[in-house]
Structure 1
Amino acid sequence: MATGDEMIKVVGDRYCVPYTMELVVKKKIQSFSNSHYDVFDTTGNILLRVDGSVWDLQRRRVMTDPAGFAIVTLREKQPIPWKGEWQIHEGESSNSNHFLFRVRRSSGFHFKSNLDVYVGSRCKKGAGDFRVTGSIASLSIKVRRGNSIIAEVSHNYTWKSYKGKESFKVKVYPEVDYAFIVALLVIMHENENV
């Protein structure tokens, strides 16, 4: 569970709600060149979208609200999958003034792609501010802050997964930034599908 009543906002406090948020994330390859994620609440309302090119060597994904306004941009810093680092900025900026957080693989060669998350400009070796454990292949991911689980993801693996259509169930605990959690899910999925 999340840590006490403390709000965990990374992308923005408007993505933090006082109750457990259940989300459905649907990913599909729209064409030979684009991947697309739609994020819905349990009533089917679209909350977020994430788009990006499949063939872009410098992988870039833009998260937007339902009206199409950019919330954050996720960019892979190094195109080498086992050393992958992603940097996340507000809107479509790459300016250091709009930098929010970075995500790095915990280590190079593991069956589980654990990720360390560093908020702000802080980025030292060792433990990050958050840790993502598990893998898409194991059908389960957990996002932790210290020893507390702040979100859980399960992969709904079906025959459609082979056709480029995948679905995830996401449980985000109260007062945790769900846009931040969706960004981590996208990065984990992109890292595992290189």
Structure 2
Amino acid sequence: MPKNKKTEWQVGDPTISVVSDQFCNPYPMDLMVTRKNQSFSKEHYQVFDPSGNLLLQIDGQAWGINRKRVMTDPAGFTILTMRQKGMALKNKWEVHGGESKEREDLLFTAHQSSAVSLKTSVDVFLAENNNVKKSSTCDFHASGGYSNISFKVFKSDALIAGVGVTHKFAWGSFCKGKCNFRVRVNPEVDYAFIIALLVMVDDNEN
């Protein structure tokens, strides 16, 4: 976990592609993410670009054991599936490409950093590092959430997303289960990966 923000991912830095190259842009992206509770047990996220175009949708269970959330494109094609493994003090998620559960389609795993913390945070391990010892360094680290009015993702000590995350709070929206996030994704960074982490951190916090 980085102790200090030393650098930020910039134009010309290596591409960070976890889900797919198609979600990497050579310029910063400001995304609007909305979350709405569709029922007591289901939540729906939508991701828009600054022009209001729908880019991604995430649907899934808000409660239960072995929950899953599915990310799709605007046409309904499944991009990835996030599955929470059991109910433990330290949550763990496994993320596979498409609807798969197979090991060869694993993209990454995310483990809650601490069972007791004032701020939700997760350590992220790419598929190729998933079987290494737990003491090894994670590939990415994400922290923050709605109540912290912040969300940041680091690769080592480099900030790759989350600068300037804000939300508009209104009691009417809160009572209806609606929340809005603004997320900045740095250049050459896979925004589908970043949104998946935001959903996990937000889910863990709630």
Report the TM range for the smaller structure's normalisation: over 0.9
Q: Which amino acid aligns with 2:160?
A: I
User: Matched residue of 2:166: which SS?
Assistant: strand
Aligned residues of 1:59 and 1:79 also touching (Cα < 8 A)? no
Kept in 2: contact 1:99–1:120 (CA 8 A): yes
Superposition pairs of residues 69-88 of structure 1, within 5 angstroms: 69-80=77-88, 82-88=89-95
Deviation at 1:135, TM superposition (A): 3.1
Q: 1:156 to 1:128 in 2, by over 3 A?
A: farther
Question: 2: CA distance between counterparts of 1:94 and 1:45?
Answer: 30
How many residue pairs are counted as aligned between the two chains?
A: 192
2:3 maps to what in 1?
none
Deviation at 1:107, TM superposition (A): 1.5
Aligned residue type for 1:68: G
Is structure 2 residue 189 aligned with structure 1 residue 176?
Answer: yes
Alignment match of 1:147 (pick from 152, 157, 167): 157
Residues in 2 aligned to 1:158 and 1:143: alpha-carbon distance in whole angstroms: 26
Structure 2 unaligned regions, length at least 5: 1-7
Matches within 5 A, 1:131-170: 131-152=141-162, 153-159=165-171, 160-170=173-183
Identity within the alignment, %: 47
RMSD, matched Cα: 1.4
For residues 115 and 63 of structure 2, what CA distance do their matches in structure 1 show? 23
Structure 1: 5+ residue runs without aligned partners? none
**TM-score (normalised: structure 1):** 0.94
| TM-score when normalising by structure 2 | 0.88
Moved more, 84-93 or 155-164: 155-164
- Matches of 2:145 and 2:195, distance apart in 1: 15
Q: Which residue of 1 aligns with 2:40?
A: 32
The one-letter amino acid of 1:125's match is: K
Task: After TM superposition, give the deviation of residue 33 of structure 1 in Å.
Answer: 3.3
